[in-house]
Structure 1
Amino acid sequence: MKEGMRMNRLCIVVPCYNEEEALAYTNTELISIIRRLMEAGKVDKESFILYVDDGSRDNTWNMIENFHKEYACVFGLKLARNTGHQNALTAGLLVAKDHGDMVVSIDADLQDDVSVIEEMIDKYEQGYDIVYGVRKKRDTDTYFKRTTALSFYRLMQLMKIDIVYNHADYRLMSKRALEVFSGYTERNLFLRGIIPLIGYRSTIVKYDRKSRIAGESKYPLSKMLSMAFEGITSFSIQPILMITNLGLFIVFCSILAAIYGLCSYLSGKVVAGWTSIILSIWFIGGVQLLSVGLIGTYIGKIYIEVKHRPRYNIETNNLMERPHEES
């Protein structure tokens, strides 16, 4: 680094929703890591933590305000209502890009290992704009969660969606990568699919995931299934192509059945029965309903996009007290 030039400013963005049980521990750990990085000369002394309160109903925001008063490196962003993890994270990233050179996003439960942030910064210094945190293994997961998670990644790959295997939302992004990301204005957010589309130089760092210290997981099975469906329908038309191929297959089978029926009639071996007919009708009807429902989902997403409603509204942002980065 040339003499007179400042070091790179780091911002750690932490989306929070009803995290009062875990937040004190989280804040202590993040302040410790950011101070250690400052002392090691890895980041600028103006580096900071930005908590994003996603419309929490508990004491989360009050705790963030108290942290802000107590620590100069802690700031808070409060959304007007609960908008979901992906929108809250996006809000934090887009606000942080105006105040930092590199931004690390991490969940408030700190199951992701904060110690690898230093390794992420080293990768950034080597010229990488995006550094993905990737789990080494899933030993801490239950058998059901591990199986469903791995199935999710395989399904994404089957649908031709470019995502990083075993990566959630623990990553470092450079300022210029965030500038490009700000141009992705879609309302149906699936960040694990959007970030690879940026295309800048990227790499991974691996870590062991920890057990949750306190509180409950904000991603039960229902939300995981919802995210999987969101990812598939937001980034791939493979389901529609699969239905088209299924329709062609059914037409082919119908032609074979018609030929078989004609041959049976000509040979005089006609067997009276209605079961096969009823089953065929039910099957075709089910395929049609499924097809209409899936196409309706895509149309619904188009409907949401064309209205161009804001993804979130910011109620309070004490980071505005901080001056923007000098040019």
Structure 2
Amino acid sequence: MSAPASPRPAGDGAVPPTLSVVVPMFDEAEVLPLFVERVRGVLDGLGEPYEVVAVDDGSRDTTPVLLQAARRTWPQLRVLRLRANAGHQAALSAGLVAARGDWVVTLDADLQDPPEVVPEMLRAARDQDVDVVYGVRTDRSSDSVFKRSTARVYYALMRALGAGGAPDDAGDYRLMSRATVEAVNALPEDHRVLRLVVPALGFPATTVGYVRAERAAGTSKYPLARMLRLTVDSVTGFSAAPLRLATWFGLVGFLVALGLLGYALVAKLGGQTVAGWTSTVVIVAGFSALQLLSLGVMGEYVGRIYATLQRRPSYYVAYDSLAEPADEPLGRPSQRT
């Protein structure tokens, strides 16, 4: 296993944490009290220095207020507030940049991935001398049939495109060494999908199984549109295979055209009338659809290149509680990241 980098300065005079828990949050006011109770109970029992980096991803409810209130009685809680909603993966990336621990866990606030598994992850990493421990969902019966089905399709698609590496049913619940986190932070890509980026690094890894629970409170912040966006980012970020579809479509179209040409010549020589209107419309419509699909796929890649050349940050940090005393009001400092 790669040795962890030397601990970074704590910045507040405290002992640098051994463990950082990064938690992206967006409108999680309903579940936040239960989250604080369960996560603090687990981490206090570790007997090691830790921090919880709560990344408020532009929440519109009382999440910022509740986080600030919790911070007054929970000194290990660190609040990182983004200026606007940047998305789940961007919020995770912001938390990884801010995290100071030798080990970093990424965890969602909805408590579907139980925080009680964190000590087991930490033991597995140390005992097996690995850099990454993936939390693998051994039972997803709490998820809807649609969500389980789309998850299977997603991982099958990623394997088919050569972007596999992570175990099936391993989402964004994982533990990483400092070396892994630094490697992720050093990557230049903006629209990264961490569940594919981390396995692609090839660091030694193991798994820990757990039962996925129902959402403790509130509603899902990952609707179908965001799931589709994640899939598109995953495909275009890790494989050029879709670009080859245009080549294959062109080859198939050329072969079909040759066949139709041969059929037309034979029909003409035989004095037969070639069936015209229906077949022509079907063929033109079919190949037009394939052309548009090919252009759309290429457009996704061109769009990623364009966004990369612009070098616009994926998120903006408005506030980091580490830089302020605990009794200061929320939100004054502004930092571009």
TM (norm. structure 1) is: 0.91
1:106-131 CA distance string (max 9 Å, x none): 00001002222111101221311111
Q: What residue number does 2:44 align with?
A: 35
Answer whether contact 2:171 2:195 (CA < 8 A) is retained. Answer: yes
Distance (Å, rounded) in 2 between the aligned partners of 1:311 and 1:145: 27
Identify which of 264, 267, 282 aligns with 2:267.
Answer: 264
Q: Which amino acid aligns with 1:286?
A: A
Distance (Å, rounded) in 1 between the aligned partners of 2:246 and 2:141: 37
Identify which of 249, 254, 258 aligns with 1:255.
Answer: 258
Answer whether contact 1:233 1:298 (CA < 8 A) is retained. Answer: yes
CA shift, 1:272, in A, is: 4.3
Answer whether contact 2:155 2:164 (CA < 8 A) is retained. Answer: no
CA shift, 1:246, in A, is: 2.1
Q: What residue number does 2:140 align with?
A: 138
1:137-166 CA distance string (max 9 Å, x none): 321122222111111111111121124211
Pair 1:117 & 2:118 matched: yes
Identify which of 226, 229, 248 aligns with 1:223.
Answer: 226
Q: Which amino acid aligns with 2:104?
A: V
Q: What residue number does 2:103 align with?
A: 102
Q: Which amino acid aligns with 1:261?
A: A
Distance (Å, rounded) in 2 between the aligned partners of 1:272 and 1:174: 67
Give SS of 1:135's match.
Answer: strand
Answer whether contact 2:142 2:212 (CA < 8 A) is retained. Answer: yes
More deviation, 138-147/215-224: 138-147
Give SS of 1:93's match.
Answer: helix
CA shift, 1:7, in A, is: 10
More deviation, 49-58/119-128: 119-128
Answer whether contact 2:80 2:319 (CA < 8 A) is retained. Answer: yes
More deviation, 302-311/312-321: 312-321
Q: What residue number does 1:149 align with?
A: 151
1:63-111 CA distance string (max 9 Å, x none): 1111111112211111111111111111111110xx2110111000010
Distance (Å, rounded) in 1 between the aligned partners of 2:50 and 2:254: 63
Distance (Å, rounded) in 2 between the aligned partners of 1:7 and 1:184: 24
Give SS of 2:46's match.
Answer: helix
Give SS of 1:37's match.
Answer: coil
Answer whether contact 1:13 1:104 (CA < 8 A) is retained. Answer: yes
Q: Which amino acid aligns with 2:272?
A: K
Give SS of 1:94's match.
Answer: helix
CA shift, 1:268, in A, is: 1.9
1:198-218 CA distance string (max 9 Å, x none): 221111111100001110101
Aligned CA distance change for structure 1 residues 272 and 132 (closer, same or farther; 3 Å): closer
Q: How does 1:16-27 map to 2 (within 5 A)?
A: 16-27=25-36
Answer whether contact 2:245 2:294 (CA < 8 A) is retained. Answer: no
Identify which of 191, 196, 201 aligns with 2:199.
Answer: 196
TM (norm. structure 2) is: 0.88
Gaps of 5+ in 2: 1-14, 326-337
Distance (Å, rounded) in 2 between the aligned partners of 1:144 and 1:50: 32
Q: What residue number does 1:325 align with?
A: none
